[in-house]
Amino acid sequence: MAENPNTKRVWLIDAVAWSAAYPATNPLREVHRWFARWVEDLPGLDLAGVKADADVLAAVRSGADGVIISGSPRDAWNEDPVNLKLCEVVGECRDRGIPLLGVCYGHQLLARALGGVVGRHPEGLELGNTPVRLTPAGRVSPLLAGFPERFEVLSSHVDAVLEMPPGGELLVEGDFTRNQGFHWGNQLFGVQFHPESDPGIMQFIWNPRRETWRAKVAFNLDQAIDGLRPTPQAGSLLRNFVTQIVWH
């Protein structure tokens, strides 16, 4: 645990795998920074980082008051060793009562680990600014405290949670992807969208992919990427995870 007994340690598991198309010197590759900027002013928070291909179980067992699993280009549904290891992390958190937040890939991985079904989205890629809405459960969830009934998020995914895990409850829904957020026992949470992101980060990620993806989608890919708008409301979800869930 952190040296100060009043400090809460949240482990951010960075599951992003970068290709050579993304210069290592570019600060936009700093996944920890994507998340930290929303919560770094909170006193008593130690947001510690660990890569998904490291010994994440040992990190969590060394002391964790909360865990966040980031997005990733990995597919949460296959038998990748990293997926299997992170499923163990979910089980560890569930059994030890540690709050967990999964983002995009992390959301899908969470659903899989709890017995849900994850796979390719039947309608393909969802990318850009996406309108979503709270369910009745979402309106009273501490993760979404202060959120309006309808708000906008940034999306970037070709996989989705196709069937809710047993005991899961829908918190946020959309038209293209119904399961935009769920909880299990008010302890484990997943969101399909990217509360940590912004247009600059998402454009950095998508610029090298444009040529490959243009012919694969039925919408104007360049318009979706170039027209990205900030979604600061979504970013407050990360603060809620710390202040309303980890600290309670």
Residues marked active site are found at: 104, 194, 196
Cα 16 to Cα 30: distance, rounded to the nearest angstrom: 10
Cα 151 to Cα 198: distance, rounded to the nearest angstrom: 15
DSSP letter string, 83-123? HHHHHHHHHHHHHHT--EEEETHHHHHHHHHTT-EEEE-TT
3-state SS assignment for residue 145: coil
- The token pair at 146 is 């202060």
Cα 78 to Cα 76: distance, rounded to the nearest angstrom: 6
| The pairing of beta strand 159-163 with beta strand 188-191 | unpaired
- The token pair at 193 is 């969208």
Cα 15 to Cα 12: distance, rounded to the nearest angstrom: 9
Cα 239 to Cα 165: distance, rounded to the nearest angstrom: 25
